[in-house]
Amino acid sequence: MIELRGVSKVYRVGPVKVTALADVSFAVEKGEFTVLAGPSGSGKTTLLRLLYRDEVPTEGEIRVAGFDVTGLRRSRIPQLRRAVGVVFQDAKLLPGRSVYDNIAFVLRVLGTPRRDITPRVMQTLKAVGLSARAQALPAQLSQGEQQRAALARALVKEPALLLADEPTGNLDEAMAEEILYLLSEIWSRGTTILLATHRATLADQLKRRTLVLDGGRLLKDEE
């Protein structure tokens, strides 16, 4: 599902070069639940952004969901993005639209037939436990609910791979637990998951394969 070979990423900020990733190689199989751990600034977000082609690597090769990401033509980027769902620390919901509309928005811009939209949105909302909140505006939701809506938005297009960048970062313990439980449910239904977090305890607690980044280098890859 994911394959990196000798991937480096150097940001140029004026004359200054910042090495965010240095010679990272690993592979994630279809159906795996993998944790990407490491302190702040270790390159986790950069790595995820490379996977959905929000950034291009300075060196190395990347394959995701059957796409040659490094050699991908610009016009094919949308196809890659349809196969990959992404959630962030903040939910990034559109404030002017209801939960339902936020999720239906995805299907609309992807050209899903109109009659399929409502059942798919409702089904996804049910999967994240938000059926009752469909007509609420994002501001009326708790942070945990917002994050679940963001998950629903990422999942409604049925991606093969879900990338989660510190999805529990804004949440208290209980809410974080909920989201992690949801993620493992989603995983158990067949979605490959890569979860980035800087909280070592959280990584331990999940008891999953963990890739540890530090200073842009892959330190450990352990089950």
Partner 1 sequence: MLAFLIGEAFRNLRRGGRVAASAVLLITLSLAALGAFWVLSLNIGSAVEQWRDRLRVVVYLREEPPAGEVEGLLKKIEGVGGIQRLRYVSKAEALQTLRRQLGGKVSEVEQLPTNPLPPSVEVTPAPEASTPEGTRALIQRLSALAEVEEVQGGTAWVEWLAQLQGLLQLIGLALGGVLALAAILTATTATTLVLHARREEMEIMRLVGASEMVIRLPLFLQGLAQGLVGAGLAVGALYGAYRLALPTLEPLLSFTLGLSRAAFFSPIEVALLLGGGGLLGALGGLAAKGERPA
Q: Sheet of 161-165: strands edge to edge?
A: 84-87, 161-165, 192-197, 33-37, 209-214, 217-222
Using CB under 8 A, pick the residue from 17, 30, 108, 220 that binds partner 1. Answer: 108
Under the criterion CB under 8 A, does residue 80 sit at the interface with partner 1? yes
Of 18 and 109, nearer to ligand ADP (C-beta) is: 18
Under the criterion CB under 8 A, does residue 94 sit at the interface with partner 1? yes
Q: Give the closest residue to 103 by CA, choosing from 77, 129, 134.
A: 134
Interacting partner of 18 out of partner 1, ligand ADP, Mg ion, none (Cβ under 5 to 8 A depending on kind): ligand ADP
Indicate the length of the chain as a whole number: 223
Under the criterion CB under 8 A, does residue 81 sit at the interface with partner 1? yes
Residues in contact with Mg ion by CB under 5 A are 45
Under the criterion CB under 8 A, does residue 52 sit at the interface with partner 1? yes
Residue 80 near residue 69, CB atoms below 8 Å: yes
End-to-end CA distance of the chain, in Å? 18
The whole-angstrom separation of Cα 2 and Cα 160 is 11
Interacting partner of 42 out of partner 1, ligand ADP, Mg ion, none (Cβ under 5 to 8 A depending on kind): ligand ADP
Measured from the CB of residue 165, what is the shortest distance to ligand ADP in angstroms?
7
Among positions 2-41, residues that touch partner 1 (CB under 8 A) are none
Measured from the CB of residue 98, what is the shortest distance to partner 1 in angstroms?
15
Of 112 and 170, nearer to ligand ADP (C-beta) is: 170
Of 20 and 91, nearer to ligand ADP (C-beta) is: 20
- Interface with partner 1 by CB under 8 A: which range of 35-43, 52-60, 166-174, 204-212? 52-60
Environment class of residue 147 by beta-carbon count within 10 Å: exposed (0-12), middle (13-18) or buried (19+)? buried
Of 46 and 102, nearer to Mg ion (C-beta) is: 46
Residues in contact with ligand ADP by CB under 6 A are 11, 13, 18, 20, 38, 40-46
Q: In the complex, which residues of this chain contact partner 1 (CB under 8 A)?
A: 52-54, 74-75, 77-83, 86, 92, 94-95, 105-106, 108-111, 153-154, 157
